[in-house]
Amino acid sequence: MAFHLILLLSLPLLASFPSTTESKLTPNYYQKTCPKFQEIIRQIVQDKQLAAPTTAAATLRLLFHDCLVEGCDASILVATNAFNKAERDADINLSLSGDGFDLITRAKTALELECPGIVSCADILATAARDLITIEGGPYYPVRFGRKDGLVSRADQVEGNLPRPNMPLSQIIALFASMKFSVQELVALVGAHTIGFAHCAQFSNRIFNFSKKSEFDPAYNPKFAAGLRKLCENYTRDPSMSAFNDVMTPNKFDNMYYKNLQRGMALLASDQALATDKRTKPHVDLYAANQTKFFQDFAHVMEKLSVQKVKTGRKGEVRRRCDAFNSLKTT
């Protein structure tokens, strides 16, 4: 599941009381210190998405990969230096698109000119992802502010916290359960693939030499598999070759992704499993039939994800640059 990318009966979703850390986040956190914060981000997001249509998927995946490893603290943005190999250089993160990083850099630069040292990179990422979802036609949800940027970013902390494309579904369910996400919330979150894409290398084992009996995974729609085989035939020479997770409406945030799952048109094995496993199939069928319900549940679970293990107060900092800690750590 690629967020790999790679995420609810709505009633129990946010029924629990917020943690002490979460309660420190407020919608008006920057009202006095940087009143144009959201306006600036909104404009930069619109301009970037218009220039590079893959920005929405790239930024959403960036948020997932950040929040699922040590919480939503912008640690995914930190660059490796001579003393530390950072999260973004873990093997599973090497395929993260540059458009997401570029967007956050642009937003941070503009905000540092407007209100230096005030807005955290973590708040920028959370807000940009929400705005891009709505630009692409998806649901709006409130984002509370006051996250601090993390003080740690280590590649060796990534493994085991992010789902991989060929990971068994039971393992993925267990992984998200350990982060307090239900099966229904997992299925809703994976709906983000409606605007995502996957590199051919991530599903090549399903379309080439699958078994002695079949050249491709029989779970695929045969015509879809044939199209993928043609599209990806040179992927070993060009590792950047990729396909949309939703080939029907790739630039629109809608429920078509779930309809594609029902038709055998999921690129990744972990995604296709959602449509057949008895634990997840009812939710896939619900969202395929009811886009309003999908939007409602996706909005709820994104609110929940965006406050995952947030840092506040002295547990973090407001970075001057999103790709570097304010002070260089040599140990």
Residue range(s) occupied by CATH 1.10.420.10 in the chain:
169-305
Distance set, CA 268 to CA 102, 144, 197, 284 (Å):
27, 33, 10, 15
Q: What is the pLDDT of residue 21?
A: 54
Tell me if 87 is assigned to a ligand binding site.
Answer: yes
Amino acid at position 187, single letter: V
Q: What is the pLDDT of residue 23?
A: 55
- Taking only the tens place, the pLDDT of each residue in 5-45 is 333 333 333 344 345 555 589 999 999 999 999 999 999 99
Alpha-carbon gap, residue 305 to 71, rounded angstroms: 9
Q: What is the pLDDT of residue 165?
A: 84
Q: What is the pLDDT of residue 17?
A: 39
Start-end of H helices in 1-160: 10-13, 20-23, 37-51, 55-67, 98-114, 121-135
Range 36-157 has CATH code 1.10.520.10: yes
- Taking only the tens place, the pLDDT of each residue in 156-184 is 999 999 998 889 999 999 999 999 999 99
Residue range(s) occupied by CATH 1.10.520.10 in the chain:
36-157
Q: What are 242's strand-pairing partners?
A: 199
Active-site hit among 4, 65, 283, 300: 65
- pLDDT lower than 50: segments of the chain: 1-18
Tell me if 131 is assigned to a ligand binding site.
Answer: no
Query: Using only C-alpha atoms, what is the Rg of the chain?
Result: 19
Burial 186-205 (b: 16+ CB within 10 A, else e): bbbbbbbbbbbbbbbbbbbe
Q: What is the pLDDT of residue 85?
A: 96
Inter-residue contact 269 to 206 (CB < 8 Å)? yes
Tell me if 19 is assigned to a ligand binding site.
Answer: no
Range 169-305 has CATH code 1.10.420.10: yes
Q: Is 81 exposed, middle or buried (0-12, 13-18, 19+ CB in 10 A)?
A: middle
- Catalytic residue list contains 300: no
Give the SS3 label for residue 242. strand
Tell me if 134 is assigned to a ligand binding site.
Answer: no
Tell me if 156 is assigned to a ligand binding site.
Answer: no
Tokens linked to 58: 């790239």
Alpha-carbon gap, residue 232 to 203, rounded angstroms: 10
Tell me if 254 is assigned to a ligand binding site.
Answer: yes
Q: What is the pLDDT of residue 239?
A: 87
Q: What is the pLDDT of residue 331?
A: 56
